[in-house]
């Protein structure tokens, strides 16, 4: 997308050769100015950042170091008209500062400050030549806007990515598969189940069945407020898939409403082992496990090496 | 890809080594049924740990194996269905209803031992209507 | 997204090859191993249908992108007899070959997008896509 944009810009520029030449010349002059006054402008920018109480999570040295890098990337973007390096840098910068609690408005704020610092220095330099100042600003503005945009968008995207990752991690934490005793797993489901979470739960449960060599699983849905037919169907699939791995599923805590949903969508509840509450479910599970205890032990003695 | 069939005691064990074509699966079915008839074994274990996918054809073939073996007096158990494969199967609407499935070979042997024991302990033979 | 893989389906080994290639492509696109298996299973069903009802045909696998979402696209085409009643063919349990009748409805359930285009006497094209969940 970026490529397309800059392509169409350059096409337009070559259509109006004279204009583009002069504006390219102006940009060159501008870049030279920014290079010459690098030290002073950088310091001014860092000072303004501190004064505006932006990036408070960072030390002054850190702010100065990042400001230097952003400044250099900024000038380079102005000079070359390519934004890849700046984009990459702003992503890395975001990665570094997001964990320290830097907010989106702070990042947008510092980029706008830099624009302001540079514009002020241009005012000073060309204060005697208003006409030239205007032309310089005209060629500077669009590039500056794009730079601000690139940095801000990079930051927001990075932030969203991190938030999504965290949500994922929380989701996984909030759906524990518990092993209460050998070969018995409990999956307490709490909260709202959307299709994505339902799928995750099932994948986790099936892996846990295999890893723990579980024979019985109690899925407790007491904490589930509502279940649409999609999720109800999913529960049925989970019971069936568990059976394919050799585990019997007992569902506990089905509210009358959810039981009604299951019946309405045509789930044969008599095909599914259901027990009123979790305690009763565990007792039933213990009974099932006791039933198989004897022969299983026998075989285990014969083939202990195949145990994990 | 030929599936090796081993005999262990009263049981036949077919352990699939890789993804199978439909022809391989049909061949496995014929070979197993023939051997069950010849060897008068009591149980069949099909180890599908190495199967990458269980689609409608694979499920149909396994079900046929179980039914035909039962007609010849042998109980079948499918072992080693992988978690991902199981989940894809049920989403496809395939469940292997009426066929025993357990976690792995060890469980499969335990299952058949239990079944054989039960049958041995039964004083009167089962009526045919109760099987199948 | 230039990557595109065309596989001809004319024998049962091709069915295995197609689903294995599909799984590999799904892995490249970043799908979880569970989703890779789901994609492979859908390809297996559709490829087998080609073989069974049209004798031969082609499957094209490619990576697709929609905004910032990555996905895989599978297009299966044949010049076989076509499907006279698509609605019926899409019903679970409907089979003209004593099959389970799970292939088409099952594949639809496994994928996010599923489209059948079939003309009797001309052939069948099935287009299906699966998108990666947000990270
Ligand atoms: N490519 C195709 N060309 C012509 N007819 C087709 C094609 N694919 C499917 N059909 C028709 O649609 C029906 C349903 O297909 P589906 O895959 O759902 O079930 P099946 O192949 O009969 O059994 P299963 O896939 O469960 O073994 C088929 O029986 C067949 O009549
Ligand atoms: Mg089919």
Q: What are phi and psi of A83, to 5 degrees?
A: -115, 0
pLDDT at A301 exceeding the cut of 50: no
| Among B22, B81, B93, CA closest to B52 | B81
pLDDT at A252 over 70: yes
Question: Which of A81-85, A170-174, A298-302 shows the lowest per-residue confidence on average (mean pLDDT)?
Answer: A298-302
What does the alpha-carbon distance between residue B86 and residue A42 come to, in Å, rounded to a whole number? 61
Sign of the dihedral defined by the CA atoms of residues C92, C98, C100, C103, in that order: negative
Q: What is chain A's mean pLDDT, rounded?
A: 80
Distance CA C18, CA C23 (A): 9
From the list C60, C56, C76, the residue with the least C-alpha distance to C127 is C76
Would you say residue A307 has pLDDT above 80?
no
Atom number, ligand 1, closest to the C-alpha of residue C80? 3
pLDDT digits (tens, 9 = 90+) for C102-125: 999 999 999 999 999 999 999 999
pLDDT tens, residue by residue, A188-200: 887 777 888 888 8
Q: What does the pLDDT average to over B49-58?
A: 94
Token pair recorded at residue A39: 């030290």
Closest by CA position to C59, among listed C36, C39, C89: C39
Instruction: Name the percent of chain A lying above pLDDT 70.
Output: 85
Looking at the CA of residue B57, tell me the nearest atom of ligand 1.
Answer: 27
Q: Tokens representing A58?
A: 């960072």
Say yes or no to pLDDT of A144 above 70: yes
| N-terminal to C-terminal alpha carbon distance within chain A | 52
Question: What digits encode the pLDDT tens for the residues B66-91?
Answer: 999 999 999 999 999 999 999 999 99
Backbone angles phi, psi at C65, to 5 degrees: -135, 140
Instruction: Provide the pLDDT for residue A280.
Output: 92
- Kindly tell me if the per-residue pLDDT of B11 is higher than 70: yes
Nearest CA residue ID for atom 30, ligand 1: C96
ipTM for the predicted complex: 0.90
Task: Give pLDDT tens digits for A43-92.
Answer: 999 999 989 888 888 888 888 888 888 889 888 888 888 888 888 888 88
Using CB atoms within 10 Å of the CB of residue A265, give its burial: 0 to 12 exposed, 13 to 18 middle, 19+ buried: middle
Residue nearest to atom 9 of ligand 1 (CA): C49
Helix (H, G, I), strand (E, B) or coil at C22: helix
Nearest alpha carbon to residue B74 among B17, B32, B124: B32
From A175-184, C41-50, C100-109, the region with the lowest mean pLDDT: A175-184
- pLDDT for A297: 34
Tokens 């039981």 locate to A259
Q: Residue A281 above 60 pLDDT?
A: yes
Which has more pLDDT, C1 or A101?
A: A101
Sketch the domain layout of chain C as residue ranges.
Answer: 4-131
Residue C94 confidence (pLDDT) above 70: yes
**CATH architecture entry for C4-131:** 2-Layer Sandwich (3.30)
Contacts of B103 in chain A (CB under 8 A): 209-210, 213, 245-247
The predicted pLDDT at position B56 comes to 94
Pocket around ligand 1: residues whose beta carbon is below 6 Å from it?
A: B 56-57; C 45, 49-50, 53-54, 78, 80-83, 89, 94-97, 99-105, 124
**In the predicted structure, residue A304 carries a pLDDT above the cut 90:** no
**Domain B5-130 coded CATH 3.30.750.24:** yes
Q: Which two tokens stand for residue C99?
A: 């099959």
Two tokens, residue B109: 């042997």
Percent of chain B with pLDDT strictly greater than 70: 90
> Which chains share 3+ C-beta pairs under 8 angstroms with B?
A, C
């Amino acid at each position: 997308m970026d490529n397309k944009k800059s392509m169409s810009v350059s096409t337009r520029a070559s259509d109006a050769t004279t204009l583009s030449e002069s504006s390219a010349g102006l940009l060159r002059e501008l870049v030279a100015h920014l290079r010459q006054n690098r030290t002073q402008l950088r310091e001014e920018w860092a000072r303004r950042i501190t004064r505006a109480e932006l990036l408070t999570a960072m030390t002054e040295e850190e702010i100065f170091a990042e400001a230097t890098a952003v400044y250099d990337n900024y000038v380079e973007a102005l000079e070359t008209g390519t934004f890849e390096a700046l984009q990459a840098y702003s992503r890395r910068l975001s990665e570094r500062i997001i964990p320290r609690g830097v907010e989106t408005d702070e990042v947008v704020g510092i980029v706008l400050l830099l624009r302001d610092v540079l514009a002020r220095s241009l005012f000073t330099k060309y204060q005697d030549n208003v006409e030239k100042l205007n032309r310089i600003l005209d060629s500077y503005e669009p590039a500056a806007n794009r730079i601000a945009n690139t940095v801000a968008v990079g930051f927001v995207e990075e932030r969203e990515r991190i938030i999504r990752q965290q949500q994922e991690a929380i989701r996984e934490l909030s759906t524990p598969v518990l092993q209460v005793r050998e070969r018995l797993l409990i999956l307490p489901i709490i909260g709202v189940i959307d299709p994505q979470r339902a799928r995750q739960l099932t994948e986790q449960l099936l892996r846990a069945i295999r890893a723990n060599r579980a024979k019985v699983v109690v899925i407790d849905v007491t904490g589930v407020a509502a279940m649409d037919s999609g999720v109800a169907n999913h529960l049925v699939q989970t019971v069936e898939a568990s059976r394919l791995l050799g585990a019997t599923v007992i569902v506990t805590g089905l509210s009358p409403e959810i039981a009604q949903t299951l019946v309405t969508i045509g789930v044969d509840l008599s095909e599914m082992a259901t027990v009123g509450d979790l305690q009763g479910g565990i007792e039933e599970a213990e009974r099932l496990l006791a039933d198989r205890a004897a022969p299983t032990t026998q075989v285990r003695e014969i083939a202990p090496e195949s145990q994990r | 890809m030929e599936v090796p069939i081993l005999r262990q005691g009263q049981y036949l064990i077919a352990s699939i080594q890789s993804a199978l074509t439909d022809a391989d699966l049909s061949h496995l079915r014929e070979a197993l049924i023939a051997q069950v008839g010849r060897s008068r074994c009591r149980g069949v274990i099909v180890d599908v740990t190495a199967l990458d996918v269980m689609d409608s054809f694979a499920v149909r073939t396994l079900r046929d194996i179980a039914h035909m073996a039962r007609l010849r007096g042998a109980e079948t158990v499918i072992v080693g269905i992988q978690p991902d494969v199981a989940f894809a199967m049920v989403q496809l609407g395939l469940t292997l209803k009426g066929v025993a499935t357990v976690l792995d070979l060890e469980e499969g042997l335990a299952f058949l031992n239990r079944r054989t024991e039960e049958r041995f302990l039964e004083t009167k033979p089962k009526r045919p209507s109760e099987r199948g | 997204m230039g990557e595109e893989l065309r596989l001809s389906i004319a024998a049962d080994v091709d069915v295995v090859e197609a689903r294995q290639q599909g799984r590999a492509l799904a892995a490249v696109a970043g799908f979880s191993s569970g989703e890779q298996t789901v994609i492979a299973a859908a390809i297996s069903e559709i490829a087998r249908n080609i073989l069974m009802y049209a004798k031969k045909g082609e499957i094209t696998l490619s990576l697709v992108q929609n905004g910032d979402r990555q996905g895989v696209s599978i297009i299966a085409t044949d010049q076989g007899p076509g499907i006279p009643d698509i609605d019926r063919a899409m019903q679970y349990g409907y089979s003209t070959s004593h099959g389970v009748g799970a292939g088409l409805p099952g594949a639809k359930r496994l994928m996010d997008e599923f489209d059948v285009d079939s003309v009797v006497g001309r052939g069948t094209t099935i287009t299906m896509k699966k998108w990666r969940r947000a990270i």
